[in-house]
A and B are shown apart, each in its own frame.
Chain A
Amino acid sequence: MSSPLLSVSGLTKRYRRGVKIIAAVDDVSFHIETGETLALAGPSGSGKSTIARLVLRLVEPDAGRIRFEGEDFLALGGAALRSRRARLQMVFQDPLAAFNPRATVARVLDDPLRVHGIASRQERPRRIAALLERVGLTPDLAPRAIHEISGGQRQRVAIARAIATKPSLIVFDEAVSALDLSVRGQILRLLLDLQREERIAYLFISHDLGVISAIAHRVVILDAGTIAESGNARAVIDAPQSAIGKALVAATPRLNRTRP
């Protein structure tokens, strides 16, 4: 069996709060295969966002190992790490905060193409137009400022930025929870399309089990920085074993539609 796309083992991150030292993430291990969606679920403070930031090397862990595409990801630094980032992208929760407030759509998409030398200066406008079309937007959006476009459009631009460098893994940190219901459905379908065509794996962080059951293959449920349970998404949501899993399922609002 070939090694997984991403494997995380013994990941630990502690924070100092006053005199106390709190483990935000405590000995967490999981893996993601190529083209697979793994969801991280849990209440606030369970460490799911911290795990996202650790995996992306935005925060350095206190212990543990991260292997990505067969490499020791934690051993990389400087230019090597920056070039490897092309393969590991992220989409944030608040698409307005995730972009430079002064940026235009074109500049946001130009950056990854330029930084990783993917397209020459002359070629880039065409590539940007193609990216916009790929995420269901029209190319005439390119000159617009980020703050002028709608929330759903912004999140599509964020996805376009993430796929610009042809990544093998994208981390979504509550990326659909701020969106309107109708927009959310469209974005989730776009993600599934992209996954099917490009074989991109997703690490999908959400507190919403409904979204997770719609998009994830497997789920890891976290509680206070540790893994409470994990497994096939359908199986875990249908019959949670851990206390926190049961609480999450019980707390999710239900729409009891009796179809006429």
Chain B
Amino acid sequence: MTALLSIRDLTVTYRRDGGEVAALKDISLDIAAGERLAVIGESGSGKSTLALAVAGLLPASARVDGKIDWPGLGHTPLGGRDIGFVFQDPSASLDPVMPVGKQIAEVAYTHLGLGWPQAYAKARTLLERVRLPDPDAALHAFPHQLSGGQKQRVAIAAAIAAGPKLLIADEATSALDTIVQAEIVALVRQLVAADGMTLLFISHDIALAAELAERIAVFRYGGLIEIGAARQIVSAPRHAYTSSLLDAHLGLDAEPLSLQAGTPT
């Protein structure tokens, strides 16, 4: 499979309080066209910085060394058209005073060269695709009238409106409850498969990543710890840090901590 994008020696430094903090150090990895790659890590691991760097959304104050090539695209990507981005907090990424239909239509209008009526028709289809109940009413709804899960569905609709090659979801489900999270993950999986999109799924939840992604990259302190097939990462991690993350996961079968042997504080 050809690589959609290839990251080589990527280092990102932020200036902070006079000093420099490296958020990503010497990252090299390829993302194949059509694959589902999950990037997992704890806070400060640099996983969100990676997402922003790929999407070209880093703040101007960040210094970027290394390069990101797009052999699978053949040209420099344009945010919104070639890359769809879904953020953690849909209330912050949606315009609170614009009907959601218009926010989606705007993407189609800007990137697909559609007229407004066609763009709105497209928005309606998208709202149907992300399975919002009553898409006609939703077109004219404002974000505050929707629930958290519905808002995230709208954000996804806007992200895929221009038919991007790459969909980036940065902790897109971590503000949602378990049931809504499962619905959104199922929706993302289905949309990615139907449109042949590549998925970059950023998460702190290793179990969720393993359910959705084919490959998992583990990040820590701005470095890539290991990358491999999801099954291999979960069943036969090569790195001790990955094992510790797996051990820290509390699944449904979690034994009561009080019964576990050796519980130092």
Chains A, B in direct contact (C-beta < 8 Å): yes
Question: Which A residues are within 8 Å of any B CB, using their own CB?
Answer: 43-45, 136, 151, 180-186, 188-190, 192-193, 196, 207-211, 213-215, 234, 237, 247-260
B2 lies within 8 A of chain A by Cβ = no
- C-beta contact mask, B204-219 vs A, less than 8 Å → 1, else 0? 1111101100000000
Tell me whether A253 and B245 are in contact in the complex, defined as CB-CB below 8 angstroms, given that A192-B257, A192-B263 are known contacts: no
Interface window among B57-65, B103-111, B126-134, B171-179: B171-179
- C-beta contact mask, B172-215 vs A, less than 8 Å → 1, else 0? 00001111111100000000000000000000111110110000
B137 lies within 8 A of chain A by Cβ = no
Interface pairs (27), CB distance under 8 Å: A43-B179, A136-B265, A151-B43, A181-B42, A183-B42, A184-B250, A185-B248, A185-B250, A189-B264, A208-B250, A210-B249, A210-B254, A214-B250, A214-B254, A215-B256, A252-B178, A252-B251, A253-B205, A253-B207, A254-B251, A255-B207, A255-B234, A257-B234, A257-B235, A257-B246, A258-B235, A260-B236
Q: How far is the CA of A249 from the CA of B208 in the complex (A)?
A: 14
When C-beta atoms are compared, the residue in chain A nearest to B186 turns out to be A251
Contacts of A255 in B (CB 8 A): 206-207, 210, 234, 246, 249, 251
Contact with B181, one of A182, A188, A251 (Cβ below 8 angstroms): A251
Of A44, A196, A258, A259, most buried by chain B (CB within 10 Å of CB) is A44
Question: Which B residues are within 8 Å of any A CB, using their own CB?
Answer: 42-43, 147-148, 176-183, 204-208, 210-211, 234-236, 244-246, 248-258, 263-265
Contact with A254, one of B177, B245, B252, B263 (Cβ below 8 angstroms): B252
The reply to whether B204 and A181 form a contact with Cβ atoms under 8 Å apart is yes
Which label, helix, strand, loop or mixed, suits the secondary structure of the A interface? helix
When C-beta atoms are compared, the residue in chain A nearest to B255 turns out to be A214
Contacts of B43 in A (CB 8 A): 151, 180
Q: How far is the CA of A34 from the CA of B249 in the complex (A)?
A: 29
When C-beta atoms are compared, the residue in chain B nearest to A253 turns out to be B207
Contacts of B148 in A (CB 8 A): 44
Closest 4 CB pairs of A and B: A251-B182, A210-B250, A253-B207, A180-B42
Of A186, A209, A234, A257, most buried by chain B (CB within 10 Å of CB) is A257
Q: How far is the CA of A251 from the CA of B179 in the complex (A)?
A: 5
Q: How far is the CA of A151 from the CA of B42 in the complex (A)?
A: 12
When C-beta atoms are compared, the residue in chain B nearest to A195 turns out to be B258
Contacts of A260 in B (CB 8 A): 235-236
Contact with B252, one of A207, A237, A257 (Cβ below 8 angstroms): A237
Q: How far is the CA of A248 from the CA of B180 in the complex (A)?
A: 10
Contacts of A189 in B (CB 8 A): 257, 263-265
Q: How far is the CA of A252 from the CA of B265 in the complex (A)?
A: 27
Chain A nearest CB from B50 CB (Å) reads: 17
Contacts of A254 in B (CB 8 A): 207, 211, 251-252
The reply to whether A43 and B207 form a contact with Cβ atoms under 8 Å apart is no
Q: How far is the CA of A208 from the CA of B204 in the complex (A)?
A: 14
Q: How far is the CA of A105 from the CA of B244 in the complex (A)?
A: 30
Contact with A256, one of B205, B234, B255 (Cβ below 8 angstroms): B234
Contacts of B264 in A (CB 8 A): 189
Q: How far is the CA of A196 from the CA of B147 in the complex (A)?
A: 40
Contacts of A259 in B (CB 8 A): 235
Contacts of B210 in A (CB 8 A): 253, 255-256
Q: How far is the CA of A32 from the CA of B229 in the complex (A)?
A: 45
Q: How far is the CA of A182 from the CA of B147 in the complex (A)?
A: 31
Contact with A184, one of B206, B248, B255 (Cβ below 8 angstroms): B248
When C-beta atoms are compared, the residue in chain A nearest to B250 turns out to be A210
